Each structure stands twice: as structure tokens, then as C-alpha cells.
Amino acid sequence: MKKIIFFLFLAAAVFLQTSLLHGFELFGIVPNISLVLLFMISFWIQDLKIVLSSALFMGLLLDFFSGFSFGIFTLTFILLAFFLNLLLGALIARESILVLFFMVIIGTFAYYLLTLTLTNIFNLFNPAYYSIKLDTALLKSVFIESLYNSVLLFLLLPLKRFFI
Amino acid sequence: MKNNKNKVKITGLLLFAGSLLVFFGIFPVANKLQGMFFNVVNIPEKALFSVGDIFSGSFKLVFTLKDVLNENAQLRSDNRDLTKKLIDNEKIKEENAQLREQLGLKANDAQKLLEAKIISFEPSNLSEFLIINKGLSDSVKKDMPVILPGGILLGKVFEVYEDHSKVMLITDKNNKVNVRSFFKDNIDRTPYSGVLNGYFGKSLFMDLIEKQSLIFKDDLIVSSGLDGVYPEDLIIGKVDIIKDDDNAVFKQVYIKPAFLPIKSTLVFVIEK
């Protein structure tokens, strides 16, 4: 029952991102609640199976709504979850909220880098599809989103007790 | 050690599954799944969209109060001018119809519009898409223009599925529109034209404008119809910032899109 509620909560977050949160855009940038939740789950839940299944579930839902090749966000979220789990296990402490804060900022850049790379790789097999170019406009978007996500993180901190 | 091996195995399996998904995405299999998915999430998405719309006004007011007050005053003035023009236009329409009848000319075919609703927006900030609830079964085709009520250009159909379609907005970096300026009556200025690209932060960037063009803030920009994709005279937006570098060959302007903020889920697909 707890697991069902947990995954329903993740689904609700994705639905919010594709509808309600577009009303809260700043400078044309919408906060990425799914990504922030992924970071929070990776940070507080040590069981890799739960982290990866959350990443898979949210990634799949995002792919349904996205204009990119189906599966790009699934792959990006899984890769992010895996690397976060490795880093958090081996190198970084899980105690400090400040660590989570910096993880969100740097992780947002990593998320965009991964999505860009995967999209361009899969465009090799389907050249007529949508392409993304790395330019100053994209870097500005990523920078603003990373700050916006970190603000969203502080708003979502009360949810910590559901993850521990 | 064994723990790490298990981690790698599980992740590898999931990545393989994810890659299969991407390849299936290139084939129509995923499209049917998406269609079924959107039929299910349509209602909650619409509800969330309406709720977001209620809160977004208050949220943005904090940052844009001064602009809102100025815009309000300007709109009241424009409204008065437009009411007068509406009356004049009705008279001209009547005259036009009478003359056509006398000369035996057929009336121009009006554009055929298909009503649609926005189901959801793109979840990432990497691109500018939205999903509408009309697809192949409603005769929607790729590259059909999509507009908001009032002739405001929104974008074009990027992908079509059985009963839904993905629309690429004009603010997307991969969308280019041939545009020109539109001046009100009695203005002695030469119209200028250029190419419109999507830019950072849901804004628009008009390039390739001749150096000698006289451009002012708040000039109205419309589609020119020259690209063969978008019909002419669809409203794009107003000039916001003008870039006139002495060393540059062309002038450039940033344009505030007329379709933002999207207040309603009602859109129209222009059937060619």
C-alpha cells in the first residue's frame, strides 16, 4: 500500500510539471519537480532498487508527455539515479542538506548534458527528428533552472519524512 | 564487491530496456501507447492546468505589477481605436461583397479551422512543445499551423498520432517563421521583414532585418506567408529590444510573443 501511494505521488509530481507548474514560470523557465524529487530520493533512500524504479517510473511518464524521442528521459533518469547512488555511497556524505542543495544545482547541469548527449546519439539513427544545439541560450536556461530547482528543493524539504 | 556487481547488473538491464524504448519510439508502437495514455490523463491534466492558471496570475503579479499597469492603460486606448476600426471594417466588408457580386467574382475561401484543446505542456525546458487532443483521425497533418483565438500564431504540428498531436511552438529554437512588420493606418514608414527564431526564456528573436529599417519598440510583427508553412497576417508579437550593432550586417530584435501567457486550452488547427 505504501509503495502504491509513493508511486502515485511521483505520478502526481509529473502531472504537476506538465500542467500546473507552467503557470509558475520565471523568465520562461519552469521548475523541474521530477528532477528535484529524483535527487531527494537518491539522497535519502539507500536502496538502489527503489531509486532506480522511481527513476524508471518518472522517466517513462515524462517520455509520454515529451516532444523528444520516446525513452530519452527514462534513460537520463536511470543514468542519473545510478551515478548519484555511486557518488553518494562512495564519496559524499548524506547528512548535510547543503550537500543536497549543491547536488541539485550541479545535477541539473548533468541532467541537461545527459539529455543533450542521448538525443544527439539517437538522432544519428533518426536524423529528421528533433535536435538540440548547445548554445548560450541553452546555458542560460540551465543556469536559471538550477537556481529555480534549488528553491523548489527547500519548499519540498518537509517531504523528507516520507523518504526516510 | 558483490553489491556493486548487482548494482551494475540492475542498472545495465534498465538501460537496455530504456534503449529499446527509444528505438521503439522511432517506430509507431510507442505512439499507440501514448494515445491510450493521453486518453486516461486528459481530465486530471485539464483540471491541473486550470488550477495553475488561477495561481499563475497572482504569482507573476509580484514581478510584473508595473508592466501590468502600463499595459492596462495601453490596452484601454487600443480598445477604443479598435472599436472604431471594427465599425469601419464592417462597412468595407459589405461594400466588398456588393462589388464582388456586381463583377461576378467568387469570395475568397476562408481558412478551415479545426478546434482542439491543449492536453499538456513539454516537461523540460529544452524544447517548446505542447500536446493537443486532435490527430490523424481528425485529418490533422504534420506542419499544419496552430493558432489561438484572435489569429495569434502558436506554432505548427510537429508529430501526428491517431488521436493527439505534438505542436512545436514558435518559441522553440528549431522553429523558423518568415515575418514582417505591420503598421497601423496613416503611418509613413517602410515595413521591414526578417526571419523569426525561438530564443531563451520563451522569447523570439528576429534576424536578417535590413540595416536601414526603421524599427520602434512595440511594432507589431506578423507572419508574412513567404515560408509556405504559416499563412500571412497571423499575429506573432511586439518588438521588445532592438539590437543595432554598427559592425553587424543586419539589425536584430527580440520580440515578446503574443501567445504568452496561455490562458485558455482552446486552440485551432488551420487545415490546408
Task: Look at residue B43 in the predicted model and tell me its pLDDT.
Answer: 66
Task: Look at residue B94 in the predicted model and tell me its pLDDT.
Answer: 78
Chosen for mutation from A18, A37, A60 (greatest number of chain B CBs closer than 10 Å) is A18
Q: Assign B77 to helix, strand or coil.
A: helix
Tell me which chain A residues have a C-beta less than 8 angstroms from the C-beta of B125.
Answer: 28-30, 32, 141-142, 145
pTM, entire model: 0.78
The yes or no reply on domain B112-272 and CATH 3.30.365.10 is no
Give the Cα separation of A145 and A27 in Å (integer).
10
Closest C-alpha to A71, from B27, B125, B32, B21: B21
- Residue in B closest to A80 by C-alpha: B11
Task: Look at residue B208 in the predicted model and tell me its pLDDT.
Answer: 93
Higher pLDDT, A158 or A128: A158
Closest C-alpha to B120, from B112, B108, B132: B132
A21–chain B Cβ distance below 8 A for any pair = yes
Residue B134 CA to its chain's centroid (Å): 16
Residue B25 has its nearest CB partner, among A30, A70, A78, at A70
Residue ranges of A 109-138 with Cβ closer than 8 A to chain B: 112, 115-116, 118, 122, 125-126, 129-133, 136-138
Residues 6+ apart with CB under 8 A from B97: B107
Give the percent of chain A with pLDDT over 70.
Answer: 92
B262 neighbors B118 (Cβ within 8 angstroms): yes
Tell me which chain B residues have a C-beta less than 8 angstroms from the C-beta of A80.
Answer: none
Tell me which chain A residues have a C-beta less than 8 angstroms from the C-beta of B170.
Answer: none
Q: Is the pLDDT of residue A96 over 90?
A: no
Task: Look at residue B168 in the predicted model and tell me its pLDDT.
Answer: 93
Task: Look at residue A19 in the predicted model and tell me its pLDDT.
Answer: 84
Compute the nearest-CA separation of B229 from chain A (Å): 17
Compute the nearest-CA separation of A5 from chain B (Å): 17
Task: Identify any residues that bridge with B186 across adjacent strands, giving them in sequence order.
Answer: none
Rounded average pLDDT over A62-70: 83
Task: Look at residue A107 in the predicted model and tell me its pLDDT.
Answer: 92
Q: Which amino acid appears at position B196 of this protein? A: L
For helices A48-65 and A2-17, what crossing angle results, to 10°?
40
Give the H or E element holding residue A92: none
Tell me which chain A residues have a C-beta less than 8 angstroms from the C-beta of B7.
Answer: 48, 82, 85-86
Q: What is the DSSP string of A87-122?
A: HHHHTS-SS-HHHHHHHHHHHHHHHHHHHHHHHHHH
- Which stretches in chain B have pLDDT values below 70? 1-4, 7, 18-35, 41-47, 49-50, 52-63, 84, 104-111, 185-187, 272
- B97-155 pLDDT, tens digit per residue, is 777 777 766 555 566 899 999 988 888 888 889 999 999 999 999 999 999 988 999 99
B18–A52 CB contact, under 8 Å: no
What ipTM did this prediction achieve? 0.84
A20–B48 CB contact, under 8 Å: yes
A50–chain B Cβ distance below 8 A for any pair = no
Where do the domains of chain B lie? 1-108, 112-272
